[in-house]
Amino acid sequence: MTDTVYVTMDMDWANDGVLSDTLALVEYLRIPVCFFVTNDTPLLDKLRHHPLLTLGIHPNFLPQLSGQTFKTYLETLREMRALVPEAKVMRCHALVDATPVLMAAREMGFEADMNLFIPLSSGIALKPFNHFGGLKRLPFFYEDDAWAQEKDHPSVEQHLLAGASCLKIFNFHPIHLYLNTEHMERYNRAKPFYHQYENLAPFVNRGPEMGARDFLQRLKENADSRGIRFGKVEELWA
C-alpha cells in the first residue's frame, strides 16, 4: 500500500453537465476511479464501460432515518443492486453505517464497503480489515467536503506521506470538483442551482486558494513525481 493511492468519487445526483466535466477531468489526469452511483442517468452506460472507472453503489438511507419513506433499507439496497448489478463495493450516502446494512450487502454479493471516514488529522494509520459479516472494510482519510471545513487544510503532501503502512483512499464529489470548492460557503451558495448546469459557472472558484479540483490535480502531480501509483480499488479485496 505504501506506493499506491486510490481515488473514489460519490455521484450524489450530480447533473449530467457536471458529470461530463468530471469524466473529462479523469480522462485528462488518466487515473483510475471508483465511482459510487446514486441514480440512473443517460451517462451511466458510458461510465459503466469506461476503462478508467469501477462502479460501486451509493445508497441513500436518509429518508428512512427521517421518516420520509416507507421503503425498507433492503428495498433501497435491492434497487441499487439492480441499477449497478456489477458493483462489488458500497459507500452509503452521508456515511450511514449499520450492521444490518453491511450484512445484507454481503448477502447480495458485495465484497467491500467504504463507509468509514477517518481523517488524516486523526493521526491513525488506516488499514483494510474484515467485518464479521464478510465484507472487507476500507476506511478512507480524505473527503473533499470535510477537508473544506477543516480549519487547517492538510496538504496533498501530508496525505501522501501519511505513513509507510497507511491505506490512502481519497474521495471527491463531482459538484465539488466542478466548483473547485475550497470552503463550504461556496457550495451552499451554488446549491440552489445544483441541477442547473448552465447557472453554476459563476460560482466556480477561480481564485488562488486551493479547492477540490486543485487538490486532485496536485495529487496527480505529486504522486507521479514521487513514483506513487494510482491503483484500482478492486485490488483491495481481490
CATH of the domain at 168: 3.20.20.370
Domain count across the chain:
1
* Helix or strand (DSSP H, E) at 129: strand 129-130
Q: How many residues does the chain have?
A: 238
Cβ-based neighbour number of residue 51 at 10 Å:
6
1 has a pLDDT exceeding 80: no
21 has a pLDDT exceeding 50: yes
Domain limits for position 139: 4-236
The CA distance from 190 to 180, in Å, is 12
2 has a pLDDT exceeding 80: no
| pLDDT, tens only, 5-20 | 999 999 999 999 999 9
pTM beyond cutoff 0.95: yes
| pLDDT, tens only, 92-149 | 999 999 999 999 999 999 999 999 999 999 999 999 999 999 999 999 999 999 999 9
Cβ-based neighbour number of residue 37 at 10 Å:
21
Per-residue CA distances from 10 to 2, 18, 38, 167 (Å) = 24, 12, 8, 19
Q: What is the mean pLDDT of residues 70-85?
A: 97
- pLDDT confidence of 165, banded at 50, 70, 90? confident
Per-residue cell: 156: 496533498
157 has a pLDDT exceeding 60: yes
Bridge partners for 36 per DSSP: 10, 56
